[in-house]
Amino acid sequence: MCIEYAHAQQKSVFDPQESFKQVNFPAGNLVRTASGKPGVQYWQNRADYKISARFDTLSRQLRATEELIYFNGSPDVLPEVWLLLGQNRFRKDSRSTATTPLEDSRFGIKEFTDGFVLEKVMVKNKKTGVWNKIDAKVMNDQLKIMLPEALQTKEKITLRIDYHFTLPKNGSDFMGVLPTTNGTIYQFSAWFPRVAVYDDIEGWNTANSGYYIEPGKLDYKITVPAECIVQGSGQLLNPEQVLTKLQQVRLREAERSNQTVQIRTAKEVTMASSRPGPGLLTWHFSTDHSGDGLFAVSRSFIWDAVKVDLPDKETALAMSLYPVESNYLAWQKSAQTMKQVLESYSRLWCPYPYKTAVNIAGSVTGIGGPGTSFIQYQSNGMANGVWSKLNHELGHNWFNMMIAGNGRQAWMVEGLNSFINHINGKVLQGETAFTLPDAINWLGKADPNQCAATPYELMLYKNFALLAYVKPAVALNLLRTEVLGARRFDAAFRTFVQAWKFKHPSPSDFFRCMEKESGENLSWFWQSWFLNDWTLDQSVESVQYVNGLPEQGVNIKLVNKGKMVMPAVVEIVESNGQVNRANLPAEIWQKGGDWTFHYPSTSAVISVRLDPDHNLPDRDLSNNTWHGTANTITQPTTK
Ligand SMILES: [Zn+2]
């Protein structure tokens, strides 16, 4: 006998031809292989920066000289070099200003400056070493430098730019100025003209709507009044010139200590003896593999430091700087949090690549740069507090400082990072910015009408959190738990990270690497979660005993109604108390939208429930469960 129920008929939109359609990957070549790894002829260009700057705290003006050594690793001859002028977004006539909505927007322009004022742009004559003026055109926030002689493949050129700009007080949540009791905190980002990435996919990436960096060396000097402390990306090369004797001793102690060492205590902040002085001091920092940098300046900093243990007995130094306003437990623990977070990422994926990690409190909500982060000074110990923000911002050292993908695909930056944040949250029992159950509920109801692969500049404000962070993090988590299993997923993900360290992977490289390393065709997964705005609706359609006898087993018919495809987990409860699960792969949907499987029941079936742990963002939960007893016909639950 048949025990079938009819529920409110949701029209199925599922078509296996569409949902399992092969992703149209570019053909593999010697630069990027079909296995998603760099090929034998993989190339990239390189930019090494040497910058000398002086910051005047009264006028907020930074005056600098930048030397850029640009190496052409490409097979192409380059007649020009493009630089990105991050400060120009604050000009009144900038495109960022013109496209800032009236209502409050976190990254909109709220204050105008003159942007980068370029005093001189010069090129070094290779033979004579003489600096010659050069033709350079500013277009919006880009600078096009026409080279006197085209840059040949495998050759380098040295450019010099003298410039100044005023640090905006309200820098679109990327930079800014915060007054505190013991002095102002100045946070700098986008503070030097940075070369655009030239790659084999787009050529010059001048549309800088997504963060994309060319890893290289950054060596910089910042001159400020002696009472100020400077910290930022890179290793401090001249502690003996800028720190007191006692601070130098403490810093060396911190390099060997698992306990936090205070380089400058709260009490010392107001003591003149805690700074060498008077006059001006120049702080010198250097780091490799960066291509960008953040730094901050203030008289107000308390300074904590602790050793970070990395694989192969390597170590780094984690430092946290904050004003007395932040001198409470979450911040007092922040250097330890950094140590814990960095050690975990290093163990899980690949070792932290820098000698130092610096976190600085200030007005910026949260931003990550190479070896540096800024987080909001009032962040506390709650959800999305200091721990969660550090877990996220330090994760950016992996995605996308180290794995330097093009941020126009925001999921490659924020999504991959949010995913590793969740793994760290689980391993370290820390709270992340959003929980996975909340994310599943959100996704189950959301109608973004855009997909995770929508380019950054087209992604609607209302969709950004969902599509750049939440959806890709949930997707990868499900790929790990429901599709591949942790062991297979982690091995593939680690291979991707290691293969693309300090290189430029494309979305296809990621998709392919995960497929080839796991041995699966995952087109359906990428189509479902990244490339389309599809929704999931799995349902239990009918439950039928073989020959009408429970002891002969039961045939359960499932239907996939949405375009999204996922494996099916079905929990069967029997009247004899048996509870079992059937795990069916996504491939059951390959040949049609319904699937019947046999379950060897030995007594009457009480319930059949799809996705019993509610791991999937199913649209219509009302058709997920069948409730019944032998020989009765029951309507499904509607909750
Ligand atoms: Zn982020």
Ligand 1 centroid – CA 506 distance (Å): 19
Residue 413 Cα to ligand 1 middle (Å): 7
177's tokens: 């100025």
Question: Does residue 570 sit within a domain?
Answer: yes
* CA gap 252, 306 in Å, rounded: 10
561 and 502 fall within a common domain: no
User: For residue 189, how many other CB atoms are within 10 A of its CB?
Assistant: 23
| 327, 266 Cβ separation under 8 angstroms | yes
CATH number of domain containing 571: 2.60.40
CA of residue 43 to ligand 1 center, whole Å: 27
Q: How far is the CA of 469 from the centre of ligand 1 (A)?
A: 8
Residue 119 C-alpha to ligand 1 middle, in angstroms? 34
Same domain, 272 and 382: yes
In a domain, 87, yes or no: yes
Ligand 1 centroid – CA 104 distance (Å): 20
Based on the fold, state whether residues 138 and 49 are members of the same structural domain: yes
In a domain, 81, yes or no: yes
- 65 within 8 A of 158, measured Cβ to Cβ: no
Check if the beta carbon of residue 361 is closer than 8 Å to that of residue 321: yes
CA distance 381 to 566: 37
Whether residue 499 is found in the same domain as residue 600? no
Same domain, 441 and 304: no
How far away, in angstroms, is 369 Cα from ligand 1 center? 10
**Ligand 1: distance of its center to the CA of 434 in Å?**
13
Kind of pairing between the strands at 142-151 and 61-71: unpaired
Q: What CATH number is attached to the domain comprising 360?
A: 3.30.2010.30
Q: Is 180 part of any domain?
A: no
Contacts of 496 (CB under 8 A, 6+ apart): 36, 403, 505, 509, 510, 513, 514, 517
- The residue from 520, 555, 574 where one domain ends is 520
Could you report the per-residue pLDDT of 283-299, keeping only the tens digit for each? Answer: 999 999 998 999 999 99
Per-residue pLDDT at 230: 98
* Ligand 1 centroid – CA 45 distance (Å): 25
Residue 419 lies in a domain: no
User: What is the distance in A from the centroid of ligand 1 to the CA of 283?
Assistant: 28
Measure 393 CA to ligand 1 centroid, in angstroms.
6
Compute the distance between CA of residue 312 and CA of residue 159 in angstroms, rounded to an integer: 38
The CA 361 to ligand 1 mean position distance, Å, reads 16
**How many A from CA of 386 to the centre of ligand 1?**
14
Q: Distance, CA 332 to ligand 1 centroid (Å)?
A: 23
> Could you give the number of structural domains in the chain?
4
Task: Note the pLDDT tens digit of each residue in 414-471.
Answer: 999 999 999 999 999 888 989 999 999 999 999 999 999 999 989 998 999 999 999 9
State residue 106's pLDDT score. 78
53 alpha carbon – ligand 1 mean position (Å): 28
Identify whether 639 is part of a domain: no
Distance 489 CA to ligand 1 centre (A): 23
List the chain residues with pLDDT less than 50. 1-8, 630-639
Q: Which residues pair with 542 in a beta bridge?
A: 4, 557
For ligand 1, the distance from its centroid to the CA atom of residue 366, given in whole angstroms, is 8
Residue 305 phi, psi (nearest 5): -150, 150
Is there a domain that residue 632 lies in? no
Q: Which residues contact 434 (CB under 8 A, 6 or more apart)?
A: 469, 470
For residue 387, the CA-to-ligand 1 centroid distance in Å is 14
Query: Do 208 and 230 fall into the same domain?
Result: no
**What is the torsion angle, in degrees rounded to the nearest 10, for the CA atoms of residue 303, residue 309, residue 311 and residue 316?**
30
269 and 367 in a single domain? The answer is: yes
Q: How far away, in angstroms, is 20 Cα from ligand 1 center?
A: 32
219 within some domain: no
At residue 39, the pLDDT reads 98
pLDDT, one tens digit per residue, over 229-277 is: 999 999 999 999 999 999 999 999 999 999 999 999 999 999 999 999 8
Question: Are residue 594 and residue 541 in the same domain, yes or no?
Answer: yes
- For 329-334, the CB contacts below 8 A with 24+ separation are 329/381, 330/379, 330/380, 330/381, 330/385, 330/386, 330/387, 331/361, 331/379, 331/386, 332/260, 332/304, 333/386, 334/304, 334/359, 334/386, 334/390
Confidence (pLDDT) at 10: 60
DSSP string, 244-261: -HHHHHHHHHHTT-SS-E
Measured in Å, residue 212 CA sits from the centre of ligand 1 at 13
Determine contact, residues 554/545, Cβ cutoff 8 Å: yes
Beta-bridged to residue 145, according to DSSP, are: 81, 136
Token pair of 103, please?
């209502």
Residue 367 CA to ligand 1 center (angstroms) comes to 6
Distance CA 362, CA 229 (A): 14
pLDDT the model gives residue 465 = 95
Distance of CA 160 from the midpoint of ligand 1 (Å): 32
For residues 382 and 398, give the distance between their C-alpha atoms in angstroms, rounded to a whole number. 25
Q: Are residues 323 and 202 in the same domain?
A: no
Containing domain of residue 512, as a range? 429-520
Residue 311 Cα, ligand 1 centroid: separation in angstroms? 25
d(CA 565, CA 567): 7
Please indicate, yes or no, whether residues 64 and 136 belong to a single structural domain of this protein.
yes
Distance, in Å, from the CA atom of 391 to the CA atom of 356, rounded to the nearest integer, reads: 16
Domain identity same for 315 and 457: no
Cis upstream peptide for 278 (omega within 30°)? yes
Block residue for tokens 């430091």: 305
- Measure 396 CA to ligand 1 centroid, in angstroms: 7
390 CA → ligand 1 middle, Å: 10
Per-residue CA distances from 425 to 152, 258, 345, 395, 401 (Å): 48, 21, 11, 12, 21
- Say if residue 279 is in the same domain as residue 398: yes
Q: How far is the CA of 24 from the centre of ligand 1 (A)?
A: 29
